[in-house]
Amino acid sequence: MNEYPRQMSLFTLSGSPAASLRPAPPPAQPQPPVRNRLVEEAPRIVSERDELFSRAESLAWRLSADLGIPVRLAVTDNRSTMVSFRRGGNVLQLRLHHMFLDAPDPVLRAVADYAGRGHRSAGGVLDEYIRGQQPRIRQFRRDSDAELNPVGRCFDLQLLFESVNRTYFQDGIQARIGWGRMPPRRRRKSIRLGVYDHQTREIRIHPALDRPEVPSFFVEFIVFHEMLHQLFPSTGRSGRRVHHPRAFRDREKAYPHYAAALRWERENLSVLLRG
């Protein structure tokens, strides 16, 4: 099952060999600054952000020049997803953790190969770099992060979690669970029904499942699937990240409604995609 991502963008910009970023025009009649402490401290804050933006802009242009296509770069402060991308319309939409702003040349080439050229073998270089940058990954939840609410219109995820934990894990899974935020409505080709965050031990389920036409056994299966991630974390193999190792898949197949859940998902995917 795919993961339902939670990402926070610091800013987004584009890089292209054939285009440039134009700064916003200054106001026609700038007002003289007011002399107080807040205004005196502002230039330092703006300067730090400008420096960060400049580094990100340089990275976007560099990747774009390497790949020969425009790169739309979003720099994030995520806790779980360090690299994500989407290719389409001869444009690469790329999301990178801010650690990559300081990445050496071999790692940046691996980013271009992995996200821009589809070379999965480059994933090993990225995994090794990310492991070495663990102290830069935010470990705590912000007050602005979405709170976990397990109670939906049709399903109480906490009750499902407790039942699954008792029945299949002997109450051995320690995690919090809740509904994720409903993403903007747009045409989609895929949907991430759940995500497990290893650092915070949080499970989020896509709110598209909180509707009366979705059978309870299917929601339970998604909860079961995400709980398995605590027992069987992702592993690195042959230069790529394996999110569902063999032991994970074997245990998943032991779920009593495994075949029925896959069949329901296949037959109702178009309904879920509409949100």
Convert the pLDDT of each residue in 102-160 to its tens digit. 899 999 999 999 999 988 888 889 888 888 887 777 665 554 455 788 999 999 999 99
Six-digit token pair at 218?
A: 């299917």
Res. 88: pLDDT tops 90: no
Instruction: Tell me what percent of the residues of the chain surpass a pLDDT of 70.
Output: 72
* pLDDT for position 163: 96
* pLDDT for position 246: 87
The pLDDT-based confidence of 258 (bands split at 50, 70, 90) is very high
The pLDDT-based confidence of 35 (bands split at 50, 70, 90) is very low
Any idea where the domains of the chain sit in the sequence? 9-18+38-136, 157-273
Is the pLDDT higher at 2 or at 236? 236
Taking residues 76-105, what's their average pLDDT?
Answer: 86
Class of domain 157-273: alpha beta
Please state the φ and ψ torsions of residue 52, each to the nearest 5 degrees: -65, -45
* pLDDT for position 127: 85
* pLDDT for position 235: 67
Please state the φ and ψ torsions of residue 45, each to the nearest 5 degrees: -65, -45
- 49-63, 83-97, 154-168: which has the highest mean pLDDT? 154-168
pTM of the model: 0.51
| Chain-centre distance for alpha carbon 128 | 19
Convert the pLDDT of each residue in 168-201 to its tens digit. 999 999 999 999 876 655 555 567 788 888 778 8
Lowest mean pLDDT among 6-20, 53-67, 171-185, 254-268: 6-20
Separation in Å, CA 183 to CA 16, 163, 173, 192, 252: 28, 28, 28, 11, 27
Taking residues 68-72, what's their average pLDDT?
Answer: 92
CB atoms < 10 A from the CB of 79, how many?
22
Res. 244: pLDDT tops 90: no
**Helix (H), strand (E), coil (C) string for the chain:** CCECCCCCEEEEEEEECCECCCCCCCCCCCCCCCCCHHHHHHHHHHHHHHHHHHHHHHHHHHHHHHHCCCEEEEEECCCCCCEEEEEECCEEEEEEEHHHHHCCHHHHHHHHHHHHCCCHHHHHHHHHHHHHCHHHCCCCCCCCCCCCECECCCCEHHHHHHHHHHHHCCCCCCCEEEECCCCCCCCCCCCCCEEEECCCCEEEECHHHCCCCCCHHHHHHHHHHHHHHHHCCCEEECCEEECCCHHHHHHHHCCCCHHHHHHHHHHHHHHHHCC
* pLDDT for position 34: 41
Taking residues 89-113, what's their average pLDDT?
Answer: 91
